Amino acid sequence: MNKPMLPTLTADPPEGKEWLYEIKYDGFRAFLIWRENKVQLISRNGKNLTAQFPELTKRFTGFTSDELIMDGEIVILNTPYQADFEQLQTRGRLKNKDKISRHSSRRPAAFMAFDLIKYNKDLTSTSYTTRKNELKKLVNSLNLSTIHYVNEYADWQTACHIVFEHLGEGVVAKRKNSTYAYNKRSSDWLKVKVWRTVSGFLTEYNRNNDYFKTEIYDEEQRAGLGQLKHGFTDEQFQTLIQFFKEKGQNGRIHPGVCVDINCLNAQDRELREPVFHDFRFDLTPKECTKKKLHWDLALFPEEVDYTHIDKPLWPGGLTKEDYLLYLRHAAPYMLPFFTNKKVTVIRYPDGIHKQSFFQKHLPDYAPSFARGWAEEEGEISLRADTLSSLLWLGNQGALEFHLPFQRALSTYPDEIIFDLDPPSREHFQIAVTAARLLKHLLDQLKVYSFVKTSGNKGLQIHIPIEEGKMSYEETRKFTEKLAHLLVNDKPELFTIERLKKKRDDRLYIDFVQHAEGKTIIAPYSARATEEASVAAPLYWNELNSSLTPLSFTIESILERVRTMGCPFQSYDEVRALQPIKTIKKL
């Protein structure tokens, strides 16, 4: 069995017109092979992975081809550009068919196809660009949600920016005219890792395998960071050996030498692909902390000035540092909703119990990377559609991000939203009831819809649409019609009465809020609540009697998305699928 062509690791990306660049996904390298009316997934080492990932092969029935071989990565995607290797490893170990079926339904894997080796004929002698063109046409014709085409980019900076923003693994540069060579590590494909540089101190040397043990401080306790062997020059290695001989006992020493280590991740006292970077004689072991580790792994943009990060923002000890870490990891999920939109923020510079204020215009002191939208009256509206601008606003104490329903230069909405506002948190289950009834109506109309918590006491239903397909007047008729249907069905639970004193204990269906100039809390935005809650996207099947909006906080939401995926992942994909004519006729 042939093995795939492999890239050569390099520290410096090649640049020039003869190169194209692809995102390197963190997954299992594999061939997807169709032969004799059967499809298989074969790993780079020849292992058959077909049974482990049935969702990737079950829809290939009826495919017509003599032989097909695609090269790619099996991944579990968090975002279109970020894969979760730990989740994939869990899937790869499963043997029980029922468990595999449950996992494949809950977090389906994807095959990221980046090369086409055979398609009725052998393509290995054709150029990379020819194979990519054929692959793109093939993937588009398959129209399978689990088979994705890996895009190529003309310049290194674009690909690197995407990987950095999404905390990805790296970039592969490929020579345009290169052919495909089985069983070879080629200099026509060059991979560049996006390293995280973390700090720890050396505490032990194992002379049997030449590994050094590294540690950090977790509060006052020492904790393992991982083992380190590669990246030293001969001189550095011999110096360390001599140091351990002179200062240590039985290969152990404390306090040890502080070092910076390049890696892809650090988790459960293990470093992923660790490589020595440099000595840190300016650090003491006490400064190599778990907090510093988390910050270093997050790849913060250097152009942002992060100030007073130990300042408390929420009760219970949550600081600006905690919030910035949340924003950095949530950014890949948040930023797509900020694209080409103005933003209004609520700032709490000294925490949620101190003075707060709205801000929707770019201040004079904003850094050059914080862009805005010019308005006729000379003001510049805020925008937060880049990682640096989002983090800069977060550093300014912007805890809440509110978005309009249309893009900055448009008067047409690109989404329809129902705001379900119960009288209090204690009445949250009324919002659940309203949302489920609305979902039933929307399903009958074949409308694609999404639901999220408001981050406080209610729920919000989002319906993405293509810009220009409906006016605000048309969306208002639609939301008003459905609101009346709910109120007529259950007048004891729901109301469209705007005056709070007349609502009693009924839930207010706010269809008036969906209008030009109005805003709604952004998905994954934090809220200024005691619990540091988040406007959390949900799966529809989560709307049950045990659901509470306070379960979703800046401390819990990231692990939830990592294990369950983002419920809004297909938000943009369904815009073109909405039954606009049906919606307008209602």
Q: Catalytic amino acids?
A: 24
- The burial of 126, by beta-carbon neighbours within 10 Å (0-12 exposed, 13-18 middle, 19 or more buried), is given as middle
CA 36 to chain centre: 38
- Taking only Cα atoms into account, the Rg of the chain, rounded to an integer number of angstroms, comes to 27
Compute the distance between CA of residue 155 and CA of residue 254 in angstroms, rounded to an integer.
Answer: 47
- The burial of 128, by beta-carbon neighbours within 10 Å (0-12 exposed, 13-18 middle, 19 or more buried), is given as buried
Compute the distance between CA of residue 275 and CA of residue 282 in angstroms, rounded to an integer.
Answer: 20
For helices 387-395 and 320-338, give the axis angle rounded to 10 degrees. 140
Which SS3 state, helix, strand or coil, does residue 207 take? Answer: coil
Compute the distance between CA of residue 551 and CA of residue 533 in angstroms, rounded to an integer.
Answer: 8
Compute the distance between CA of residue 60 and CA of residue 443 in angstroms, rounded to an integer.
Answer: 28
HSE on the CB side for 83, CA within 13 Å?
23
- Report DSSP letters for 261-320, one per residue: EEESEEETTEEES-EEEEE-TT--GGGSBHHHHHHHHT---TTS----TT-B-STTS-BH
Structure token pair of residue 76: 């579990």
Structure token pair of residue 406: 């249309």
Q: Which residues contact 72 (CB under 8 A, 6 or more apart)?
A: 29, 30, 32, 111, 112, 113, 114, 115, 150
CB 23, CB 150: distance < 8 Å:
yes
Bridge-partner residues for 262, per DSSP? 197, 275
Which SS3 state, helix, strand or coil, does residue 455 take? Answer: coil
CA 159 to chain centre: 16
CB 259, CB 205: distance < 8 Å:
no
Bridge-partner residues for 153, per DSSP? 21
CB 204, CB 212: distance < 8 Å:
yes
**Angle CA(304)–CA(305)–CA(308) in degrees, nearest 5?**
135
**Angle CA(241)–CA(242)–CA(244) in degrees, nearest 5?**
65
Look at the chain and count its residues. Answer: 586
| Distance (Å) of CA 312 to CA 336, 359, 399, 455 | 29, 21, 13, 20
Q: Tell me how many helices (H) and strands (E) the chain has.
A: 12, 31
Which SS3 state, helix, strand or coil, does residue 20 take? Answer: strand
Compute the distance between CA of residue 323 and CA of residue 313 in angstroms, rounded to an integer.
Answer: 8
Structure token pair of residue 10: 């390099």
Structure token pair of residue 415: 């989404």
| Distance (Å) of CA 220 to CA 64, 266, 413 | 63, 20, 53
